[in-house]
Amino acid sequence: MYHTTETTTNSTTNTVWLRIEDENSPAMLRGHLIGLGQNQALLCGIPSHPSWQQLKPGMTCRGHTVIEGETYQFETTIKEVLRDQPAILLNSPRKITRRPPRVHPRIPVDIPGTIRPMNYDGTVLAVLPATLSDLCTMGCQLRTSETTWPSLATLTVILTCRLPNLDHTSKFHGRIEWIEPIPELLMGIQFQFTSFSDVACKDLERWFGSQQAKLINTIA
């Protein structure tokens, strides 16, 4: 049985968001840092949920956490899955960095919508309100409530919203590319169109073609 060192943390203030990068079982997992183990391994408590049985040692994951008001990210691998706690032990990250800003130009917007995170079997886990804060032809940035997001979900989402000047609701399939858990849950979504003739893709092209807004560059 694995034992932690004396170093422990408060789970209410040390939330860790993990993007599991496995190509067969990609997921976004919300856990909390319990403490440090041997060789600075990270022990993270995770929710007791049937879907997390997909987690296996060796899977690559990208971690996101907030330290003194700044979002930091790291990349590591799962060292051990402790199914009796439940928890996972992560190998010590080689490097922890601040999340860099996006470099692609985009149009600032304030569009209400709905986001649906998915389970491994393709079922919808929740229907949550969200707000698009920027939009480009490849994807968008949106914010939603951290407290209502499922503890474990795949990276696949469905986003619905009504683009300005259009008289119908558009439905976008996408993938979570990055997250920033402050002050709300901020996400970068990459759209996934089946083809250029996809209805949502056409909606986006039509909307962009009518825009007079200035593109902005977010490089700090």
Residues 164 and 138 both lie in one domain:
yes
Asked if residue 160 is part of any domain, the answer here is yes
pLDDT at 138 over 90: no
Residue 4 lies in a domain: no
Say if residue 143 is in the same domain as residue 195: yes
Quote the pLDDT of residue 217: 40
Residues 117 and 201 in one domain: yes
Give me the pLDDT at residue 104, please.
53
Q: Quick: pLDDT tens for 15-58.
A: 889 988 777 778 888 888 888 777 788 999 987 776 667 788 99
User: Do 124 and 196 belong to one domain?
Assistant: yes
Rounded Cα distance between 149 and 87, Å, is 19
Q: Are residues 92 and 119 in the same domain?
A: no
Total number of domains in the chain? 2
Residue identified by tokens 């986006």 is 204
In degrees and rounded to multiples of 5, residue 203 shows phi and psi of -60, -45
Residue 160 has what pLDDT? 97
Q: Which long-range contacts (C-beta less than 8 Å, at least 24 apart) are formed by 4-9?
A: 4/34, 4/35, 4/36, 4/37, 4/43, 5/35, 5/36, 5/37, 5/38, 7/35, 7/36, 8/34, 8/35, 9/33, 9/34, 9/35
Is a pLDDT exceeding 60 seen at residue 220?
no
pTM for the whole structure: 0.74
Domain membership of residue 218 (yes or no) is no
Looking at the domain assignment, is residue 203 inside a domain? Answer: yes
Give residue-wise pLDDT tens across range 154-180.
999 999 999 988 889 999 999 998 888
Looking up residue 19, the CATH number of its domain turns out to be 2.30.110.10
Domain containing residue 80: 15-98
Check residues 3 and 181 and name the one with the higher pLDDT: 181
Give the HSE-up count for residue 83: Cα atoms under 13 Å, Cβ half-sphere: 8
Query: Is residue 4 pLDDT above 70, yes or no?
Result: no
The single residue listed with the structure tokens 């080689």 is 94
Residue 175 counted as domain residue? yes
Residue 67 has pLDDT above 80, yes or no: no
Q: Token pair 């391994």 is at which residue?
A: 41
